[in-house]
Amino acid sequence: MRYRELFKRFEPYTWEPSTEQIAAQFGLKPGDILRLDLNTSPTRPTSALKSLAKRLPEIEVNLYPDTSYTSLREAIAEYTGHEFEGIIPTNGADEAIDIVSRIFLEKGSIAVASVPTYSYFRIASELQGSFFRGVPRLEGFGDDVEGILSNLDSDAGVVWLCSPNNPTGNVTPAQVVEKVCSETEACVVVDEAYYEYSGATAMPLLSRFDNLVIVRTLSKAFGLAAARIGYILASEETVKLINKARPPNSLGTINIKLAMHALKNRSYMRKSVETIISERERVRGELERLEVGKVYPSQANFLLIRIREDLRAEEVHEMLLREGIVLRNLSQNPLTRNCLRATIGLRGHNNRLLRSLGRLLRVLRG
Ligand SMILES: Cc1ncc(COP(=O)(O)O)c(C=O)c1O
């Protein structure tokens, strides 16, 4: 069978095993598994679901959705304050990342990102035949602006910035985005998947830079990861260009309706974000009290933990798995050596993690 040379050495996206697999492996019930590895919301917008359920029989599932997604774009415009013509809804932020890559990257071109970061940037870039250059972040995980700029030659197609960054939780200041946008012809993507937790955005720069593209999602703060709704914010000109590579029907009508309800009734999202932020700060303090290692400050819905030197993150990860608690193990990446990432859940979820960790640390430290 013939296939692209690229896939002979390609490193695909990896994730923790499924809930069913973990339950079967450790003799647990799937319902007892606590997933704190996916950076999703611990609750779902039940009022949006109930309202949709009532209207379900009238939904024209026999027809394609409105390909220009007019109503959804209006709802996104109202939520963000960005112009209607500068919005493209996508099938999750991941599809936005893919579409942007198709427009701005090609075989032999260069994509640059501050690393560690969301691994799909590398994957989407390499799928276009581009070379991915990771510029290591500075102490404290800030972007190395000079390092980024020095990697931007005339073959550079995309600069990936992520704010707040997954997995480090810090924000890229608007001044950094502005500097990078003004010093390159390449497309500068700011992934703001966790925007609602930080409140910081590069949006005010959109009117000045055609090469700026912001990517967002309803998968996190809005609690709609399964609905697969993301969106692109850019200038009208840039949106016209990006639309050339967009599949015509990648969003389903049922999911569009859910997204519109969530965007128009935002008190659920606001309350959820408030709870997660206050829990995040409480958990951070408790983790420090447990002397688990270094817990980095975060403006997102997760915490990055560098496990103390005398313990191995893999071992802590595995012991938690045995108790049905799944964290993201990032320790294989040299830039996040001995690190685990924990999504913040509801108080009860977080207390379960803290209790288990406390017990494990006592066992491991003897
Ligand atoms: C930075 C970042 N961007 C995008 C995504 C994917 O978002 P979506 O579910 O909208 O595809 C994630 C998911 O974890 C993420 O962390």
Region 16-41+268-364: CATH code: 3.90.1150.10
pLDDT band at 185 (very low <50, low <70, confident <90, very high): very high
Our separate counts of H helices and E strands in the chain read 13, 12
| Model confidence at 147: pLDDT above 90 | yes
Checking if the pLDDT of 124 tops 80, the result is: yes
For residue 287, give the nearest of 225, 353, 331 by alpha carbon.
353
Give 94 Cα–ligand 1 centroid separation in angstroms.
Answer: 6
Tokens at 247, concatenated: 């599949």
Please determine, for residue 183, whether its predicted confidence score (pLDDT) is greater than 80: yes
- For 98-109, how does the pLDDT look when each residue is reduced to its tens digit (9 = 90+)? 999 999 999 999
Task: Assess whether pLDDT exceeds 90 at residue 310.
Answer: yes
pLDDT of 2 strictly over 90: yes
- How much distance in Å is there from the Cα of 273 to the middle of ligand 1? 17
pLDDT score at 15: 82
Which residue has the CA at smallest separation from atom 2 of ligand 1? 193
Which atom of ligand 1 sits closest to the CA of residue 94?
11
* Mean pLDDT of the 135-152 span: 96
Those residues whose C-beta lies under 8 Å from the C-beta of residue 244, and which sit 6 or more positions away, are: 103
Output the average pLDDT for the chain.
96
Mutate to test the pocket of ligand 1, among 99, 171, 191, 251 (most ligand atoms within 8 A of CB): 191
Q: Is the pLDDT of residue 365 over 90?
A: no
In the predicted model, is pLDDT for residue 366 greater than 80?
A: no
Please tell me the distance from the alpha carbon of residue 75 to that of residue 259, in angstroms, as a whole number: 9
pLDDT of residue 153: 86
Quick check: CB of 198 below 6 Å from ligand 1? no
Confidence at residue 14, expressed as pLDDT on a 0 to 100 scale: 85
- Whether the pTM exceeds 0.85: the reply is yes
What does the pLDDT read at residue 133?
97
Give me the residue spans of the domains in the chain.
Answer: 16-41+268-364, 46-264
Mean pLDDT of 168-179: 98
User: 46-264: what CATH class?
Assistant: alpha beta
